[in-house]
Amino acid sequence: MNQNFTSSTVYQVYIKSFCDSNGDGIGDINGIRSKLKYIQSLGVKYIWVTPFFCSPMVDNGYDVSDYRNINPDFGTMSDCEAMISEAASLGMGFMFDMVFNHTSTQHEWFKKALTGDPEYMNYYIFRDGDENTPPADWTCSFGGPAWEYVPGLKKWYLHLFDPTQADLNWENPKVRNELKDVIRFWKAKGVKGFRFDVLNLVSKPENLDNLPAGSATRFCKDGHRIHDFIRELVIDTGIDNMITVGEMASTTLEHCIKYSQPDRHEMSMCFNFHHLKVDYKDGNKWALMPADLKVLRNLFKEWQEEMCAQGGWGAVFWCNHDQPRIVSRLGNEGKYWKHSAKMLGTFIHMLRGTPYIYQGEELGMTNAHFTRLEQYNDVEAINYYKILTSQGTSSEEALNILANRARDNGRTPMQWTSGRNAGFTEAPEPWIGIPENYSYINVESEEADPDSILNYYRKLVKLRSENKIVSDGRVKFLESGNERVFAYERSLDGKSIVVICNFSPIEERINKLAAGKVLLTNYDSGNESLENLRPYEAIVIQK
Ligand code: TEU
Ligand code: CA
C-alpha cells in the first residue's frame, strides 16, 4: 500500500476553466502544461484533473462518449502524454477522473443498445413498461425523473443524473471488464492515480421494480455489492498501490471506513459531502439557511475521530467544481477576506486525511455573483431555476438561490492576472463569466504579496510534508467552550500540536486549550492569552 498520500496534498484542476492556450475561450491540456511550474510551486505531489475525454459536454465532461480519446476542444493524445511526462519530471503525478457510473448516451455502447442489440442493452439498466408508467417514481440528481422512456424499444432506462447520462449495469461482468480496460489504458500512459466519480452509486438494488418514490441516489448509494465491485476493480487492474479516491454520494461513516481501510484493498480514501450540507435547509440544497456551526463541528469530530480509531482515511476539502466557493460560504468576502480564507485553509490542512485544494481556492477566489440566468451554464442550475420558479418562487429569489448554490460559482475561470479576462484566455470572452474581483484576487498580485492567501497555502502544504504529526498523527477534537471556535489536537510519539480556528466575524472567548510555540497563524501579532480570539483567527501551536 502506498502511504505517501498521508504527507501529500492534491491540487484539483477543472480543465475547462484553468488556462486557455489557444484563444477559444476554453481551458485545455496545453494550458495545464503551461502552468505546471505554478502547481509545483504550491508543493503538491498530485494533480486531479477533471474529465477531458470525448464528450458532448452536457455535464461538462462527466458525460463520456469515449473513454480512450480526448475531446478535441481540450487537445490531443500527444498533448496529454506530454502533460503526464512533464508533470513527472517536476515530481508530480496525475490522477485522472473515471466516470464509471454512467456513460453519455452518445457512447457507442448506448448507441448499439438503442438499436435493440441485446448484448449492449445489457450494458445499461433497461426495464419494460408502458409509456406512462416508469418502473419507479424516482427523481434524478439534476431535477426531473430518473427513468427515461425509449419509444422504439418500449423500454425505460435509468439515469441518476441527466437523461443523456445513462447508468451502466455493473451486474454485467462484461461492463466491469470494459471499465478495467479503461483503467489499464491510462495506467499504461503513466497516470499515478485515479478519482472515481460517484463510485458508491454503481451497485443498484437487487430488485428495481416496485420501489417507493424518492431520490434515485437514496436507493442506489452504498449498494449490496459495492465493496466487492470496488475490490475487484482495484485488484484486477493492479492499482492498489496507487493513490485512489472514490467520490461517495450520501454515504455513511461505516461505509467510508470500509472503503478506505488499507487491508480491504478498495480505495486509498473517499470524499463525502455531509459537511457541505450544513447550510441546506431541511437537507434541501435549493433552500437557503445560514450554516449550522454546531452541526459542522460535530460532523468533523465524529468522522475524524472514528476514521482514526478504525484505520480509515479521508480526503479533506472545502471546495471542488460542484461547490460554491468556501470563502463566500463560511468566510467573508469583505474586510476579513484574507483572514477568513486563511483560517478555513488552516482548519482543513491540519486535519487527519489528504487535503485537496481546488484551483483558485489558494487565492481566496469567491462566488461568481451572477445576476442573470443567461450567465449560468450548468444543466443543474438551469433545471432548478425552472423547477423553483414553476413552484412559485419569484425569479429574483430563484436567482438569489442560484447565486448561493449553483455549481457554476466554483467554475469561473482561474484568475491569473489583473489583465484582460484575468489572464485566462486571449479570446474576446471566456466560456463563462469572471467575477469582477479578479482585479485584486489573482496569482500575479498574490505572488508579489508575502502575506497573501497564496503564500499562506504554500506554508500549509509544507507543514504537512515536513511535519510527521500533521501527516501521520492521531486526531482528537477539543472543547473550546464556544460553538464558533473549533479546536483539535494532533499527536504522535508523545508530541502534539493544537489547532484553534475561529469561524466567527467577531472576537470570541474560549477555554484555555494550549500553550507553546506558534507554528502558524493568520495574524501578524501573536496571541498571548489564547483565550481571546480575533475575527477568523487561526493558530497552530506546538505543545
Ligand atoms: O458529482 C456527483 C454528485 O452527486 C454531486 O456533485 C452533486 O452534483 C452535488 O452533490 C449536488 O448537490 C459528480 C461530479 O463531480 C459532477 O460534476 C457530475 O455532474 C456528477 O458526478 C455526474 O457525473
Ligand atoms: Ca482552448
Question: Are 430 and 20 within 8 A, CB to CB?
Answer: yes
Question: Are 270 and 256 within 8 A, CB to CB?
Answer: yes
Asked whether the predicted pLDDT for residue 346 surpasses 70, the reply is yes
Residue nearest to atom 2 of ligand 1 (CA): 198
Q: How many helices and strands (H and E) does the chain possess?
A: 17, 26
Question: Are 95 and 46 within 8 A, CB to CB?
Answer: yes
Q: Is the CB of 86 under 6 A from ligand 1?
A: no
Q: Is the CB of 141 under 6 A from ligand 1?
A: yes
| Positive or negative torsion for Cα 440, 442, 447, 453 | positive
Q: Is the CB of 11 under 6 A from ligand 1?
A: no
- What tens digit of pLDDT does each residue of 230-260 get? 999 999 999 999 999 999 999 999 999 999 9
Q: How far, in Å, from the CA of 413 to the mean position of ligand 2?
A: 12
Domain boundary assignment for the chain:
473-542
| Confidence category of residue 457, pLDDT binned at 50, 70, 90 | very high
Bridge partners (DSSP) listed for residue 124: 168
Quote the pLDDT of residue 3. 59
Q: How far, in Å, from the CA of 388 to the mean position of ligand 1?
A: 20
Q: What residues are neighbours of ligand 2 (ion), with CB under 5 Å? A: 20, 22, 24, 26, 28
Catalytic residue, chosen from 197, 361, 378, 408, is 197
Q: Is the CB of 249 under 6 A from ligand 1?
A: yes
- Is pTM beyond 0.95? Reply is yes
- What tens digit of pLDDT does each residue of 315-328 get? 999 999 999 999 99
- Measuring CA to CA, which residue among 441, 433, 499, 438 is closest to residue 470? 499
Any idea what the Cα angle at residue 289 is, between residues 286 and 291, rounded to 5°? Answer: 120
Ligand 1 atom having least distance to the Cα of 59 = 19
Residue nearest to atom 1 of ligand 1 (CA): 198
DSSP for 328-376, please give it: HHTS-SSTTHHHHHHHHHHHHHTSSSEEEEETTGGGT-------SGGG-
Quote the pLDDT of residue 2. 53
User: Ligand 1 pocket: which of 49, 52, 197 to mutate (most atoms <8 Å of CB)?
Assistant: 197
Q: Is the CB of 279 under 6 A from ligand 1?
A: no
Torsion angle of C-alpha atoms 221, 224, 225, 226, degrees rounded to 10:
30
Residues of the chain with pLDDT > 90, as a percent, come to: 96
Q: Looking at the CA of 358, which ligand is closest?
A: 1
Question: Are 474 and 461 within 8 A, CB to CB?
Answer: no
User: Ligand 1 pocket: which of 63, 101, 161, 379 to mutate (most atoms <8 Å of CB)?
Assistant: 161
- What tens digit of pLDDT does each residue of 470-529 get? 999 999 999 999 999 999 999 999 999 999 999 999 999 999 998 899 999 999 987 878
Q: How far apart are alpha carbons 536 and 458 in whole angstroms?
A: 19
Quote the pLDDT of residue 406. 98
Q: Is the CB of 62 under 6 A from ligand 1?
A: yes
Ligand 1 atom having least distance to the Cα of 63 = 23
Give Dmax (Cα) for the chain.
74
| Confidence category of residue 33, pLDDT binned at 50, 70, 90 | very high
Residues 205-217, mean pLDDT to the nearest whole number:
91
Q: Is the CB of 14 under 6 A from ligand 1?
A: no
Question: Are 516 and 541 within 8 A, CB to CB?
Answer: yes
119 is catalytic: no
Q: Is the CB of 322 under 6 A from ligand 1?
A: yes
Quote the pLDDT of residue 1. 44
Q: How far, in Å, from the CA of 426 to the mean position of ligand 2?
A: 9
Ligand 1 atom having least distance to the Cα of 62 = 23
- Measuring CA to CA, which residue among 277, 337, 300 is closest to residue 483? 300
Total length of the chain:
543
Distance (Å) of CA 111 to CA 149, 296, 448: 15, 45, 53
- What tens digit of pLDDT does each residue of 70-103 get? 999 999 999 999 999 999 999 999 999 999 999 9
Quote the pLDDT of residue 26. 98
Judged on CB neighbours under 10 Å (0-12, 13-18, 19+), 103 is buried
Residue nearest to atom 12 of ligand 1 (CA): 285
Q: Looking at the CA of 200, which ligand is closest?
A: 1
- What tens digit of pLDDT does each residue of 390-404 get? 999 999 999 999 999
Please give the helix or strand (H or E) that residue 46 lies within, else none. Answer: strand 46-49
Q: How far, in Å, from the CA of 200 to the mean position of ligand 1?
A: 12
Q: Is the CB of 198 under 6 A from ligand 1?
A: yes
User: Ligand 1 pocket: which of 198, 279, 383, 384 to mutate (most atoms <8 Å of CB)?
Assistant: 198
Assign domain 473-542 one CATH number from 1.10.1760.20, 3.30.70.1710, 2.60.40.1180, 3.30.1520.10: 2.60.40.1180
Q: Looking at the CA of 410, which ligand is closest?
A: 1
197 is catalytic: yes
503: left (phi over 0), alpha (psi -120 to 50) or beta: alpha
Q: Is the CB of 431 under 6 A from ligand 1?
A: no
Q: Is the CB of 343 under 6 A from ligand 1?
A: no
Q: Looking at the CA of 31, which ligand is closest?
A: 2
How many CB atoms neighbour CB 517 within 10 A? Answer: 9
Q: Looking at the CA of 28, which ligand is closest?
A: 2
Ligand 1 atom having least distance to the Cα of 407 = 8
Q: How far apart are alpha carbons 107 and 114 in whole angstroms?
A: 11
Ligand 1 atom having least distance to the Cα of 161 = 22
Q: Is the CB of 273 under 6 A from ligand 1?
A: yes
